[in-house]
Structure 1
Amino acid sequence: MKRILPILLCASAAACSTGGQVNPDVMQIATAPLTCSDKTQCDLWWQRAQDWVRAHSRYEVQTATDTLIQTTGPGGGRRLLAYEITKSVNNDGTATIGFAAHCDSSLGCKPNPWSAGAAFKQFVRSGVDAPIPGADAVDAPAAGGAQAPASP
């Protein structure tokens, strides 16, 4: 028993130390600005944003306006992501779409907020819901960090 406890502690520490790492390619996609160039493109991208949130959120959409898409949650220590998507119109007629995702668990979120952000932005830009190379699957659990900061 005396030998098992140190082995278990080392194994759990090793698992925690690598769980919070994010693939740099995923980070780059997730943090890249999402700026549409004109009203037609912005309307299309905003519709895609709503479609993605409705398809990927385990929480219900609480608010859906011309400038905000917000789900209920998170709560109760759950690992599921809640989303808040914003649209800010710029002076030059473009608009920036922001993405924020967070959960209520110290064990990490499911899916990983960075991978979800990258998948969201890829879908909004292309209309294709495809996995991001090097990312966790959007439904895979992620250890460490319970929130991806809002990014444009």
Structure 2
Amino acid sequence: MRSIVMGLLAGALLAGCATGGANRAALQAEFNSTIPTCDSKEACDAMWEAAQLWIAKNSRLKIQTATNVLIETYGGGQNSAVLAMRATKEPAGGGKSRIVFDGGCNNMFGCVPNVFEAGVRFNKAVAATSQASP
């Protein structure tokens, strides 16, 4: 009886890992497909301002650096699951730029929130700025 229970527990744990991996891959794909792009100085400036505002409102850490190409929060402490955030404005060719979100933490079990979940929310909020512009 004990071996059956242990087998069921091991199976449940393995299924949870498999589901988590599939979810992570789907989130990563959604994140990569929604990276905001701008094609004019006005649009890029508006999106960059939205990026800084989103990080300021959604990070549990203070912004450490904010320039015309980098926004970065302080890092979390040792073993912290708090997500440190970074956004960069990168040339994409043809006069376009991409606003790219990145993040990480110092916890082997992962960050809170998950970097790809936060990245998708960031991408959608920043991209909505360009859609709201005339």
TM-score band, normalised by shorter chain: 0.7 to 0.9
Q: How many residues align?
A: 127
Identity of aligned residues (%): 34
TM-score by length of 2: 0.78
For each residue in 1:38-71, what CA deviation from the matched residue of structure 2 results, as whole angstroms up to 9, or x when unmatched?
0110000000000110111111100011110001
* Pair 110,49 (structure 1): closer, same or farther in 2 beyond 3 Å: same
Shift of 1:6: 5.3
CA RMSD of superposed structures (Å): 2.5
TM-score by length of 1: 0.70
8 A contact 2:37–2:127 mirrored in 1:
no
For each residue in 1:107-146, what CA deviation from the matched residue of structure 2 results, as whole angstroms up to 9, or x when unmatched?
122111111111101000114xxxxxxxxxxxxxxxxxxx
1:57 to 46, 56, 59: 59
Query: Partner residue of 1:17?
Result: 18
* Pair 39,8 (structure 1): closer, same or farther in 2 beyond 3 Å: same
Q: Which consecutive residues of structure 2, in runs of 5 or more, have no partner in the other structure? A: 130-134
8 A contact 2:39–2:97 mirrored in 1:
yes
8 A contact 1:39–1:94 mirrored in 2:
no
Runs of 4+ deviating beyond 4 Å: 2-10
Q: Distance in 2 between matches of 1:25 and 1:19?
A: 10
* Pair 38,8 (structure 1): closer, same or farther in 2 beyond 3 Å: same
Q: Which consecutive residues of structure 1, in runs of 5 or more, have no partner in the other structure? A: 128-152
Larger helix proportion of the pair: 2
